[in-house]
Amino acid sequence: MTEKVLILIIALALDVVFGEYPTKLHPVVYMGFLGRFFDKLYSSKKNNAIAFFLGMFSLIAEICFWIFIVFGMSSI
């Protein structure tokens, strides 16, 4: 229990000291870039089946990308 409280206090202190990530490093910005890229890719398709499969591909690709990032960062 005390370990979790200590981790929370350290995390809050780091947040106060360093603040928010810069836009260039913020993960949500990259999620938006990927989402916009895939949206442009499949929204121009007239065939609904193709748009659906490209949309599913974009979802899976984005999830895999973030899993790769998270596990890559945890191994550092």
d(CA 43, CA 50): 10
d(CA 63, CA 53): 15
Instruction: Tell me if residue 71 falls in helix, strand or coil.
Output: helix
- pTM given for the model: 0.49
What is the reported pLDDT for 10?
92
Contact between 43 and 51 under an 8 Å Cβ cutoff? The reply is yes
d(CA 36, CA 53): 16
Pairwise pLDDT comparison (14 vs 27), residue with the higher score: 14
What is the reported pLDDT for 6?
92
Query: 9 pLDDT exceeds 90?
Result: yes
Condensed to tens digits (0 to 9), the pLDDT of residues 36-67 reads 887 787 777 678 888 788 878 888 888 888 88
